[in-house]
Structure 1
Amino acid sequence: MHREPLITLLQEHTPADATEQAMTQATIAFVRTYPNCFDRSLLIGHVTGSAWIVSPDREQVLLIHHRKLDRWLQPGGHADGDPDVAAVALREAQEETGLTSLKRIGAGIFDVDVHEIPLRKNVPAHLHYDIRFLFEADFMEAFGNSNEITNIQWFSVEKAKSLTDSESILRMLRKKVVN
């Protein structure tokens, strides 16, 4: 079944804390319950994929300023039916940043988060079961353009912490990134 590889990855993931543990368990239950969990047409929620991008020296993180949400976030987006969530994360990161040097670090999941997306036009409020993967990119590569974002920038971990009050982002910033 196309959901099994993600369930296996989720079961193998080591959450950073009790909150991430609870979100990981909720995501496993969601994926097991809804065969169409990768489709954004599932209006109660759906699986999304994100990329946590670091510089080769691990001193910088890449964040995008999301146009619709008006927040600094990691690149990512909808699976649109694709059960290979790591490939979704890579595709979304490439589309949103224009980077071609992205290289996945490790075989597992970096972070799991469940968060609400607010009501927008005719789309009801819903949950994103966001699966995050770790990537490295060339710090010197030029960014592309995307109409989904207003800015792309590398930040030191300390500077990134000052840009957000999102526990989701702060948790990823606290995680030790190794090769």
Structure 2
Amino acid sequence: MTATETHPAGPPDGATEGLHADAVRALDGWRPAEAGQDELRRSYLRHLAEQPEGLFRSCLPAHITASAVVVDPAAGRVLLTLHPKVGRWLQMGGHCEPGDPGLAAAALREATEESGIPGLALLATDGAPAPVRLDRHQVRCTGKDRPESTHLDVQYVAVAPPGARELISEESLDLRWFGYDRLPELTDHSVRALVARARELTG
């Protein structure tokens, strides 16, 4: 880094400890069936072991993020957002914030903010919200003129209450429900895999 380059400000002192410990617990206690997913899980844990502030945007070149795919199982549909920077339909999600008490709480906050739907419920295992997939990808989240960062995304499933009505936020170009079998063309493999897993888990 040159003298004229700066990174985004990190979280305030003391903001990381609880969130960091929660992320380690969540990933350490999750056992995916797929070998590739378990390899990612282990790499995320190594990242957290090496980076005390590894959940925040200021941690470069990689940081943990949290997301949740919002589904309506009774109607067989999923809510996706057209991301203005990426130009693709994605699940709800984003960066952790210092006020988030845990990784699942960060995912739920993002899903609620971006969907406009109150009363979302994350799928749980043994009474606690649990990840369903992981995805590692490159993105420019610190500015268009800055190098790409690596997002180590922890993905959850959020079930919408009956009769839920979405409300688009300023973070979306568009917000729409799609049938499980009618996903838009501008979705990548990660989104399709996450929707398939959500469909499997929610019936």
Distance between the aligned counterparts of 1:147 and 1:159, measured in 2? 25
- Runs (4+) of structure 1 exceeding 3 A deviation are none
Rg larger for: 2
Q: Which amino acid aligns with 2:193?
A: R
State the Cα deviation string for residues 60-108 of structure 1 (Å, max 9, x = none): 1111111111100000010033461111111111111111121122121
Q: Is 1:13 matched with 2:30?
A: yes
For residue 136 of structure 2, the aligned residue among 86, 94, 114 is 114
- For structure 2, the 5+ residue unaligned runs are 1-16
Q: Is 1:84 matched with 2:102?
A: yes
From the superposition, tell whether residues 165 and 178 of structure 1 become closer, same or farther in structure 2 (CA, over 3 Å): closer
Matched residue SS, 2:97: coil
From the superposition, tell whether residues 83 and 29 of structure 1 become closer, same or farther in structure 2 (CA, over 3 Å): farther
- For structure 1, the 5+ residue unaligned runs are none
Give RMSD over aligned pairs.
Answer: 2.1
Q: Name the structure 1 match of 2:178.
A: 155
Number of aligned residues:
178
How does the TM-score come out when normalised to structure 1? 0.88
From the superposition, tell whether residues 93 and 112 of structure 1 become closer, same or farther in structure 2 (CA, over 3 Å): same
Cα distance, 1:8 vs structure 2: 2.2
Q: Which amino acid aligns with 1:101?
A: G
| Contact kept in structure 2, 1:49 and 1:130, CA below 8 Å | yes
Distance between the aligned counterparts of 2:115 and 2:43, measured in 1? 30
Percent identity of paired positions between Structure 1 and Structure 2: 29
State the Cα deviation string for residues 19-71 of structure 1 (Å, max 9, x = none): 32222121111111100112211121111110121114272111111111110
| Contact kept in structure 2, 1:164 and 1:170, CA below 8 Å | no
1:29-178 superposed matches below 5 A: 29-57=46-74, 59-81=76-98, 82=100, 84-106=102-124, 107=128, 108-118=130-140, 120-138=143-161, 140-160=163-183, 162-164=184-186, 166-175=188-197, 176-178=200-202
| Contact kept in structure 2, 1:56 and 1:138, CA below 8 Å | no
How does the TM-score come out when normalised to structure 2? 0.78
